Structure 1
Amino acid sequence: MKKLLTVMAFSVGLFANAQTDNLFKPVKEVALRTPSVPIVVSDPHFSIWSPYDKLTEGSTEHWTAAKKPLVGALRVDGKVYRFLGKDKVTLLPIAPMTNVERWEAAYTNSQPANGWQELQFDDSSWKKGKAAFGSHDMPRVHTEWKGNDTDIYIRRTFELNDLDATENIHLIYSHDDVFELYLNGEKLVATDLVWRDNVNLKLTDEAKKKLRNGKNVIAAHCHNTTGGSYVDFGLYREKKDAVTFDNEAIQKSVDVLATSTYYTFTCGPVELDVVFTAPQLIDDLDLLSTPINYISYRVRSLDKKEHDVQFYMETTPELAVNETTQPTIARTLSKNGISYVEAGTIDQPICDRRGDLICGDWGYVYLGSVNGAGKSVSLGDYSGMKESFVKNGTLASSNTKWITRKEENIPAMAYVHNLETVTKDGKDGFMMIGYDDIYSIEYMYEKRMGYWKHDGKVTIFDAFERLRDNYQSIMERCRALDELIYSDAEKAGGKKYAEICSASYRQVISAHKLFTDKEGNLMWFSKENNSNGCINTVDLTYPSAPLFLIYNPDLEKAMMTSIFEYSASGRWNKPFAAHDLGTYPIANGQVYGGDMPVEESGNMVILAAAIAKIEGNADYAKKYWDILTTWTNYLVEYGQDPENQLCTDDFAGHWAHNANLSVKAIMGVAGYSEMARMLGLDDVADKYAAIARKMAMKWEEMANEGDHYRLAFDRKNTWSQKYNMVWDKLWNLNLFPNNVIGKEINYYLTKQNPYGLPLDSRKEYTKSDWIMWTAAMSPDQATFEKFVDPLYKYINETVSRVPISDWHHTDSGKWVGFKARSVIGGYWMQVLMDKVLNKQ
C-alpha cells in the first residue's frame, strides 16, 4: 500500500524515560471546543469520550452515553488531585431500578385527572404492571407500552423509614422519549425530545425535603413520538464514608488533534500533561485496527522545589459490558514484562448482541503496565483502592480474580506509577489500555477476527508488546499524522477548517471495524451509530469517502467490495445496489426495510469512478464491470426524474422528483463513462458521456427557478443543497450548463443561519457532511470559509454534548439526532478538491 505519511525514523525499544518533551505538546494549538472529546477510542464498541469542557466535570462514557468510567489522579506531597472523570459513587437502593428489582407500579395510558403526581392521589382505577415499561426491543421490559404518539403515566410508591436529612440521595432514570418526573408532587425532571439511559440526578437539599418517613411516591409521564419507548427509574442513597478523590486539578488547556488529545493541568505545585493517543495511522492497517490506546503523562515542578509524586489511573469491568447487571470476571496476570488487569463478562456472547445503542459485551478489556520501577497494577475493592492511594500513594493489595454479580460489588482495575522525586526537569511515563473482542464481525455466517490478529496468529499480548517496544516511533508517527491532517486542511480551507478536521478524524475511524474475509479481501465496515445500527451502509460509505480517497483508497474499496460481492453471489439479485449488509456486528445481508435504488447505485458507481480518478486506472472497477454496467443502466432509466424513490435526504419527508437525487444519477452515468475511457472502451465512454450531458441539460431546464434550482422538479419556490454536483467540479467535466454551480452557491449564501446552511427549504435543520460537500463547490477560499464559519460556530457552541452530530438545527445549534457517525469523513471534501485540482 502506498505510504502517504512522512514518517521519521526512530529506533524501537525506547521506553518512557526516553520520551522527548515534544510528545506532550500538540503539533498545533487548537481553539475549537469539541462537544465530546475522544479519550480512548478504537471501534464502535471500544469507545470512551468526555462530554465536558473540563475532564473532571463528569464520568467518561461510551458514545451511546453509557458510563465507561476512567478515573485519573495525581498525588503530590501526600495531597491527591483528580484530573480525569469522577469517582463512581457507591449507591445503596431505596427503590431500585429493574437491574435489581422488577418493581411494580400503577399506570395508565390515558390523560389522568389533575394532581396525579401527588402522594394522596387515588390511583386504584389504574392498571398494575411490572417495570420496565416500554417496547420489547428495550432492556428488561415487563409491561409493554408501544406505539407512535402514545403516552404512559406511572405512579410508584415506596416506604422510607430511616430518613437522614444529611445523606446524599440520587434519582436515576432512563426514558425514551419526552419525559417528566415528580417526587411527592415536586417536578424534578422535564425533557424535550430525547432518549437517555441511567441519568444520575443528585437531589438538591430542597428536593430532599419532599421525602418523608413512611409512604412516598415517584410519578412519571413519558410521551413516545416514534420508534422505541421506555421508562425505568429508581431512588438511591450514597454509601457513607467511602474514600473519594474530591479535590480537582485545575485544567489549563485541551487540544484535540487527529490521533491525540492533549490536556495540561495544575496540581498544586506541579504541572501535569496527559496525552490520550489512539495510534490509528491510516496508512498502517495493523496499527489502524489494533484496539490499544496509549495514555502518556509528564509531571514537572512549578516552584523549583522537589515534590514526591504518584500517578494513578483506574477503570472497572464496566468497560466490557452492555448492561451493568451482567456478571463479570476479572483477573491479574503478567506476560513478557507487562502486567495486566483483565476483565470481561462471564457469559461471553460473542457477536450475539446486535443493534444500535449497544456496547460490546464479549471479549476482554486490559489495563497494561510496562513493568519498571514504581509501576504496578492491581485488582481490588473500589473504595479500598482509593483509600490506599490517598494514604500511601500505593495500590491496595491485588486479588488474582474477582467475580462480580451485583453492580455495587464491582472492583477497581488500577494502575500506579510512583514517580518519586519530581523537579523542574520533570518525569514521565506511559501506560496502555486495550480491548480484545476475540471475534469482531459475523460476515456471511462466519465469525471473523479483527485485521490485527491475522486470523489468530497475533494475540492481544503480542499487540501490547509491539506497542510497548515501538512507543517512541509510533508516537512520532501519530504526531506526523496530526500535522498532516491539520496542514492539509489549513492549506485547503483555513485554520477553522483545519481544527474541525482534526477534531473529527478519530470519530470517523472509530466508527469502523477492519477485518478480512476468508478469501483475504480487506473489509472496512462502518456501524450506523445512532441512526439504526446497520453495518456497512452504502449511504454512510458515500459521504465519508473523501477522507479515505485522500489518504488510503484501499479502505474505500474495503467498504465497497462486500457490496459488489453480495450482488455477484446472487444473494442480492436486484438491478441496483443494496443499502446495507445487516445490523452491526452481523453482516449476512440487507436488513433495511426499504430499497434506495438510485441513491445506492449512484453512490457505488460514483465512488468506483472516484477511486479510478485517484489511482489513475480503473483496475478495481474492471473486476465488477458487469455489475457497474447494470447499476448504471438503472440510473439511465430511472435517474433523470426519480419518482417514488427513497433518498438519504428524506428527513423532512419523502418527496418524489428529487433534483439532487437526479444529480447523483447523472454523475453516476458520467463516472461510468470516465471509467470506460480508462479501460479503453471508447465507444462505451462516448455513449454514456453523451447520455450524461443530455441528462444534465434536461435537468437544468426542469429544476430552474431563476436565481436557483428547485428541491423537486414539480415543487415551485423550493431549494436544496445540490451537494452531489461537487463531482462535476472535482472531475472538471462541466456537465451542467448556465453556471448552475455558481448560481446555487450564491443563493445558498442568502439562506444561511447562525449555525449553518439548512439542508433544504422545508426545515431549519441540516446535515453538516453535506454542507462541507456544498462548500467545496465554492469558487474561492473566501467563499468556502463563509460556509465553514457557521459550522465551526455550531461545533464550538452546541449544548448537545455528544460526539459531533451531523444532523443539527441551524438556528439553535442543538442536535436533532445522530452522533459519533462516520459520515463526517465528508468534511475532507475540500482537501480532496484541493489535492485533485492542484494536480490538474
Structure 2
Amino acid sequence: MDVLLLLVCLALIGACSSAFRPPAVPLVVNNPYMSIWSAADNLYDEFPMHWSGDIMGLTGLIRIDGKTYRYMGPETLLRGSSIPNVEQAEVAVGPTTTYYVFHQDGVKLDVIFFSGSAMAVDILDDTNLSQFEIPVTYLNLSVSSEDGKVHHVQLYYDNSAEPAVMNSKEMVTWSRNRSAVEGHHTMSIGTVDQKYLQQGSDRINWGYWYTSVEDNGNVSTVITSDVNARGSFANGRAFPDEDDKPPRACEDNWPVLAVSWDLGNVGKDNAASRYIVLAYDQVVSIRYFGHNMIPFWRHLYNNDTAEMLRSAHGNATALGLECLLADGFFMTMISRYINPAENYSAIATLAWRQTVGGTQLVWNDILQQEWVFLKEISSGGAVNTVDVLYPASPLLVYLFSTQLQKLLMPILAYANNETKAYGEYIPYNLTWAPHHLGHWPICDLAPNHQEQMPMEETGNMLIMIAAIAKRNRNKEKQGFQSQPGSLTYLKPYWPLLRRWGDYLVSNLPDPGNQLCTDDFEGPSPHNANLAIKGIVGLGALAYLLEQDGQKDIATHYLMQAKNFVTMWMKNASDGDHYRMQYNLPDTWSLKYNLLYDRYLGLNLFPQSVYDLECAYYQKKMNAYGVPLDNRADFTKTDWLMWIASICNHDQFDAITNSVYRFADMSPDRVPFSDWYFTTTGKVKGFRARPVVGGIFAAMLFIT
C-alpha cells in the first residue's frame, strides 16, 4: 500500500469534515450484512457494532517501545486486565473513506478504512467493475515518528466470529490456506451449519469472513482465543505456534483471527504502513422467486474466492487512488456549487456509504446481467421497498443511475409477471405498482400480501424511471460513454407503465383513503402531498413517452397532469400555504414530492406553490428542523433535504444546518437516523436506512 497516496487522501478528506461528530462512524460498510460502525466518540471507547447495535469484535493494539496501547476496542478487551488507550486526535468521514488519527509517546498512528464497493463507478465513467464490486474493506495502518526520535513499533489487529453469525451461541469453524493467495496469510471463519438464506435476522449466519494480509516477513497470524492472541501481543510474547482446533461456539473462548507486525524501528525518515483485507463471501445472496442468485463478484471471478482475494491485494493501491479521485470529485462539486459547503459536505459524505451499504449486487444468471437489491434496514427488513428506494433516489440518480436501474429491474419483472422463469410463478394482478418483493433475503411476496400503497408506489416507480432517463441523457451529453440514455430496456414494459399511468388518471386528483410512505404517522386520507406524487408521476410518464418518440400518448398524459394541478391548487389551498389533507383546514405538511417536478423540468406546479410552501416552513422551523407535518414534532432527514433543495438559498442553508446539528449533537449514537424530534434531536426510530441518500437532492441540480 502506497503510504503517500493514503496520506494525501487523509488530508483531503480531513480538511472537509474533521470538526464533525457523526452519530456513528462507518468502518466496514459494504452491504446490509457486512455493516460495522463505531458508535462512540473514540474508536477505543467501545467495540464496533453492527448497524443493529450488536457487538462486532474488532480490536486494534499498538506497542511503542515496549508499552502496549489500544486504538480499537474497549478497556475490557482482555477480559481481566486493562490496556490503556492511545490518544485519539481526529476522526473524519469521507464518501468512501474513514480515518482516525492517534498520537502517543512521540508516534503518530493513522487508521484508515476504505472500500471500493462504495465507489461511484458511474461518475468515474469506469466500466471495469471487477475491482469495485468485491465485498472488501481495507484497513490501512500507518505509523510515523512525530518527535524525530526512533521508536520500536509493533501493530496488532483481530476480529471475532461475530460478523459471521446470527448470535454468539452458534458453532463456528475456521481455516487458513497460506497457498490459496500466494504471498499472503489468509484466515477465514464462519458457522458450521451454513444454512444459506434460511434465516431472516438482520445478521448473516452463512458464508465466511476473511482476514488476509501480505506475508512481508515481519507478520504473524494465528486463530486462537481472544485472550491468548491479545495477551501474547500485549505482553511482548510471540503468538502460539498452532491455531486452535475447530469447531466451538462463537462465544466459547471467543476465537479470533489475529495479525501482528513487528515494524522494527520507525524514525523521522522511515514511516511504515500495513494493510488488511477484510472480506465476506456470502456464497449466495438473494432468492428471487425460487432462484438463488450469487454475489456479482462470484460471477466475475468464476466462484473463486482466492482469485477475488488476489485481486483485492493486487488492486489495493489502485483502489486507494480511486477512492481519492471519487472523494475529491465529490468534495470539489460541493465546494463549487453548494455555498456554504462545510455542513452539507459533512452530512452528505456520511450518507454515501450508508445508502450504498444498504444494497447487494448479484448476478442474474437467467438474464445474464447484474441486478441490485436493497434492504429496508431497521424498519421491517423488506426487499426493494419502492417507497424506500424513492427517498434514497437522489444519491442513486446522481451517482449511480445505472445501479438504480438495476434496482428497479426485479420490481418491473415481478409486476410484469416474469417470475415463472425463476421457478416460482406468483402472478401479479394489481393495476398499480408493487410495494416490495419479500423479506430479506427472500423475494416471494404474493400481491395480496403487499402493504398496499397504490398511488405512492405507482408514482414512485414512474418518477424514478424518468429520473434515470434524464440523468443518463445528461451524462451522455457530458461524454460518459458508459452511460447511454437509451430507453431500450423499457420495451417490454410500456404496456405496464401505461397501465400504471391509467391507474393514476382514474384516481386523481384525490387519492382517497390511501396510505402514503409516511404510514408510521397513521392514515392520512385525501393527502395533498400524495396527490402531488400522483400528478408528478403522470408527468414523468409523459416525459418517458416523449423521449421514446410516443408524442401523442405523452401529450395525453401531460394534459391530464396539468388539469389535475389546477384542481389540486383549488382543493389544497389554505391561505398562506397548502393543506396536509384536502378536507382539513388549518393543517400543513412538507410537500417534498415537488422535487421531481423541478428536476425533470415538468413545470407542472407554478413557482407560486414553491414560494408559498417554503415561506410557511420557515415559520415552523425548530432547532433541528421543520416537522413533517402538524401532527407531531418529529421529522424525516430525507424529506427535509428534499424541501431544502427546492427552496431559496437562505432556506436551504437553514435546513441544512438543522440536519447537521441533529447529526452532530443527537444523544442517540446510532447510524444516521432519518426519523427524529426537531426540538430535542432525539431519535424517534429507524437507523442506518439507505433513505438518507435523499440528502443528495441538491446535487440533482448541478451538472
TM-score above 0.5, yes or no: yes
Report deviation, 1:552: 2.5
Cα deviation code 1:598-621 (max 9, x no counterpart): 000000011111122222354343
Report deviation, 1:399: 0.9
Q: Residues 301 and 308 of structure 2 are in contact (CA less than 8 Å); yes or no, is this contact kept in structure 1?
A: no
Decide which moves more: 287-296 or 741-750.
287-296
CA distance in 2 between counterparts of 1:28 and 1:390 reads 31
Cα deviation code 1:696-754 (max 9, x no counterpart): 01100000011100000001100001111112222333222471011101111111110
Q: How does 1:546-695 map to 2 (within 5 A)?
A: 546-569=394-417, 571-589=427-445, 593-616=450-473, 617=485, 618-695=487-564
CA distance in 2 between counterparts of 1:21 and 1:502 reads 19
Name the residue aligned to 1:508.
355
Instruction: Establish whether residue 25 from structure 1 lines up as the match of residue 11 from structure 2.
Output: yes
Name the residue aligned to 2:422.
none
Name the residue aligned to 1:377.
221
Cα deviation code 1:758-785 (max 9, x no counterpart): 1111101011101111111113x33311
SS in 2 for 1:561: helix
Name the residue aligned to 2:289.
444
Instruction: Establish whether residue 472 from structure 1 lines up as the match of residue 317 from structure 2.
Output: yes
CA distance in 1 between counterparts of 2:603 and 2:329 reads 31
Q: How does 1:42-53 map to 2 (within 5 A)?
A: 42-53=30-41
Report deviation, 1:45: 0.6
Q: Residues 42 and 289 of structure 1 are in contact (CA less than 8 Å); yes or no, is this contact kept in structure 2?
A: no
Report deviation, 1:635: 0.7
CA distance in 1 between counterparts of 2:469 and 2:2 reads 44
SS in 1 for 2:562: helix
Which of 279, 282, 285 is equivalent to 2:120?
Answer: 282
CA distance in 2 between counterparts of 1:406 and 1:462 reads 28
Q: Percent identity?
A: 32
Cα deviation code 1:33-62 (max 9, x no counterpart): 110001112110111110011111111110
Instruction: Establish whether residue 833 from structure 1 lines up as the match of residue 701 from structure 2.
Output: yes
Q: Residues 310 and 393 of structure 1 are in contact (CA less than 8 Å); yes or no, is this contact kept in structure 2?
A: no
Task: In structure 2, give the amino acid aligned to 1:276.
Answer: F
Instruction: Establish whether residue 253 from structure 1 lines up as the match of residue 90 from structure 2.
Output: yes
Report deviation, 1:505: 0.7
Name the residue aligned to 2:104.
267
CA distance in 1 between counterparts of 2:501 and 2:375 reads 27
Name the residue aligned to 1:34.
22
Task: In structure 1, give the amino acid aligned to 2:669.
Answer: R
Q: CA RMSD in A?
A: 1.8
Name the residue aligned to 2:195.
349
Report deviation, 1:24: 4.0
SS in 1 for 2:292: strand
Which of 344, 347, 366 is equivalent to 1:497?
Answer: 344
Report deviation, 1:303: 1.9
Name the residue aligned to 1:706.
575
Decide which moves more: 402-411 or 68-77.
402-411
Task: In structure 2, give the amino acid aligned to 1:32.
Answer: F
SS in 2 for 1:308: strand
Give the number of equivalent residue pairs.
667
Which of 653, 672, 675 is equivalent to 1:807?
Answer: 675
SS in 1 for 2:243: coil
Q: How does 1:154-173 map to 2 (within 5 A)?
A: none
Instruction: Establish whether residue 64 from structure 1 lines up as the match of residue 25 from structure 2.
Output: no
- More strand per residue: 1 or 2? 1
Q: Residues 272 and 300 of structure 1 are in contact (CA less than 8 Å); yes or no, is this contact kept in structure 2?
A: yes
Task: In structure 1, give the amino acid aligned to 2:661.
Answer: K
Going from structure 1 to structure 2, the CA distance change for 1:509 and 1:285 (only over 3 Å counts) comes to farther
CA distance in 2 between counterparts of 1:49 and 1:376 reads 27
Task: In structure 2, give the amino acid aligned to 1:64.
Answer: S
Cα deviation code 1:462-499 (max 9, x no counterpart): 12211211211110110111122223233333221111
Instruction: Establish whether residue 407 from structure 1 lines up as the match of residue 407 from structure 2.
Output: no
Structure 1, unpaired ranges of 5+: 1-14, 91-238, 836-840
CA distance in 1 between counterparts of 2:412 and 2:43 reads 44
Name the residue aligned to 2:686.
818
SS in 1 for 2:49: coil
CA distance in 1 between counterparts of 2:298 and 2:188 reads 18
Task: In structure 1, give the amino acid aligned to 2:188.
Answer: E
Going from structure 1 to structure 2, the CA distance change for 1:531 and 1:554 (only over 3 Å counts) comes to same
Going from structure 1 to structure 2, the CA distance change for 1:89 and 1:75 (only over 3 Å counts) comes to closer
Task: In structure 2, give the amino acid aligned to 1:627.
Answer: L
Report deviation, 1:247: 0.7
CA distance in 2 between counterparts of 1:17 and 1:456 reads 28
CA distance in 1 between counterparts of 2:3 and 2:322 reads 19
Name the residue aligned to 1:118.
none
Which of 371, 393, 407 is equivalent to 1:545?
Answer: 393
- More helix per residue: 1 or 2? 2
Provide the TM-score with structure 2 as the length reference.
0.92
Task: In structure 1, give the amino acid aligned to 2:532.
Answer: V
Name the residue aligned to 2:125.
none
Q: Residues 57 and 85 of structure 1 are in contact (CA less than 8 Å); yes or no, is this contact kept in structure 2?
A: yes
Task: In structure 2, give the amino acid aligned to 1:653.
Answer: G
Report deviation, 1:406: 6.7
SS in 2 for 1:739: helix
Q: Residues 154 and 264 of structure 2 are in contact (CA less than 8 Å); yes or no, is this contact kept in structure 1?
A: yes
Q: Residues 751 and 757 of structure 1 are in contact (CA less than 8 Å); yes or no, is this contact kept in structure 2?
A: yes
Q: Which has the larger radius of gyration?
A: 1
SS in 2 for 1:706: coil
CA distance in 1 between counterparts of 2:299 and 2:6 reads 33
Cα deviation code 1:403-430 (max 9, x no counterpart): 2137232222111111110002311121
CA distance in 2 between counterparts of 1:766 and 1:459 reads 46
